[in-house]
């Protein structure tokens, strides 16, 4: 097949191109700079011309773009998109029902939400890792010191840009207390997020403090916007701070994050790390790699978890339902249920070297056997 790739600065571009090529498909790229545009006559004209010039069998993009969907609908071409962001508001565009679409999401619960509403163009597909590439990356550590870090965390603290929560001004004491209590309650619950359903009593105050409106071509609600883009991000930042602080009371923690100024006792902040070449080496050279999922992810396995296992790192994650569909706890990875459980498991796996190494190998081998980009390409193209 010939695939037209909508190419923008997304994760996984090189890996998906490699997977298409190794599966025997030809890839033609269309540069896509204005990825936030829902309508743009110039981009639509350019994409239409490219489609007619190259005559692909299908169009593919990471994440979903209504503009691309409409052009594919007019041209009668299948449009395959694979969403790795959460939240992702453009999924709620009216265009999602276009018959040319096949939209893959990595979150089983989110997929059920759309399917239960009668939208069958949305399907479930977990994320993946390119284990062939990751296996070629060799750590520089000496053979007698294979690990540079005991416990590592790679991810945002949500203290950087897009911190909408802290932009809200003039909230009443009731609204502030309501949000604080809601977030504290959610902090103690894994596997079920009730933020969106709980915002109605203070929605008008939230809107006055930080106006956010649904898009004209979308079915998302104000509750969705404030829950996913404001409260859940703040909640994730608070949760990560709480858990990382708890870890540093006993262990040295190596942090790789966007905020170079963040500090805690027993924390080594390394700043940012290149996702493609440097981050896998962190995973390989850490005894324990933490995953603390963004709270807007309902049940899905974050891409970072696949990166950790695919690199051969030991994964200790919060509970996400979709893990149990694809991997076995205590065999391929491990999960924690609370702050206390997290600390217990860190202590256990730091002192049970052989068991930890065996679990990391099992996780890597399972990803290599069934969760590579080539596996996902075969599944995505099988329905065309």
pLDDT for the residue 139:
82
Token pair, residue 29, equals 């790229």
What are the beta bridge partners of residue 335? 317
Q: DSSP letters of 276-300?
A: TTTHHHHHHTEEEEEE---TT-SSP
Query: Quick check: 142 pLDDT over 70?
Result: no
Distance CA 240, CA 247 (A): 10
| CA quadruple 169, 235, 193, 35: dihedral sign | positive
What is the tens place of the pLDDT at every residue in 82-113?
999 999 999 999 999 999 999 999 999 999 99
Q: Provide the whole-model pTM.
A: 0.95
pLDDT of residue 140: 72
pLDDT digits (tens, 9 = 90+) for 174-206: 999 999 999 999 998 988 899 999 999 999 999
What gap in Å lies between CA 145 and CA 294, rounded to an integer? 33
How would DSSP label each residue in 222-235?
HHHHHIIIIIHHHH
Task: Give the strand pairing for 58-62 and 26-31.
Answer: unpaired
In whole angstroms, what is the distance from residue 77 CA to residue 65 CA?
15
Phi-psi region of 304 (alpha: psi -120 to 50; beta: other; left: phi over 0): alpha
């Amino acid at each position: 097949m010939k695939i037209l790739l909508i190419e923008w600065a997304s994760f996984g571009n090189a890996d998906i191109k490699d997977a298409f090529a190794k599966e025997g498909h030809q890839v033609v790229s269309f540069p896509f700079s204005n990825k936030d545009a829902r309508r743009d006559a110039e981009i639509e004209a350019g994409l239409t011309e490219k489609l007619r010039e190259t005559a692909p069998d299908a169009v593919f993009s990471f994440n979903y773009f209504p503009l691309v969907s409409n052009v594919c609908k007019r041209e009668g071409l299948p449009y395959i998109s694979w969403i790795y962001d959460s939240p992702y508001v453009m999924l709620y565009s009216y265009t999602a029902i276009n018959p040319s679409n096949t939209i893959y999401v990595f979150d089983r619960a989110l997929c059920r939400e759309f399917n239960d509403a009668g939208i069958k163009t949305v399907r479930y597909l977990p994320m993946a890792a390119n284990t062939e590439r990751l296996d070629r990356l060799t750590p520089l550590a000496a053979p007698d010191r294979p690990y540079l870090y005991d416990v590592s965390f790679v991810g945002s603290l949500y203290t950087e840009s897009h911190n909408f929560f802290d932009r809200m001004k003039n909230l009443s004491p009731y609204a502030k207390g309501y949000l604080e209590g809601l977030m504290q309650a959610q902090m103690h619950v894994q596997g079920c997020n009730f933020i969106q359903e709980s915002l109605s009593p203070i929605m008008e105050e939230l809107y006055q403090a930080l106006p956010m409106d649904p898009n004209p071509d979308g079915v998302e609600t104000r509750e969705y916007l404030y829950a996913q883009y404001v409260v859940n991000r703040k909640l994730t930042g608070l949760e990560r701070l709480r858990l990382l602080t708890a870890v540093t009371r006993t262990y040295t923690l190596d942090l790789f994050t966007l905020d170079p100024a963040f500090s805690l006792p027993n924390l080594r902040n390394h700043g940012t790390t290149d996702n493609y070449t440097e981050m896998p080496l962190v995973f390989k050279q850490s005894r324990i790699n933490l995953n603390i999922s963004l709270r807007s992810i309902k049940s899905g396995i974050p891409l970072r978890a696949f990166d950790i296992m695919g690199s051969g790192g030991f994964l200790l994650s919060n509970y996400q339902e979709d893990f149990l569909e694809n991997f076995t706890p205590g065999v391929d990875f491990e999960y924690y249920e609370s702050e206390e459980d997290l600390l217990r498991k860190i202590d256990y796996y730091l002192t049970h070297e052989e068991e930890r190494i065996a679990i990391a190998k099992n996780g890597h081998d399972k990803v290599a056997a069934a969760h590579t980009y080539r596996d996902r390409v075969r599944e995505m193209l099988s329905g065309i």
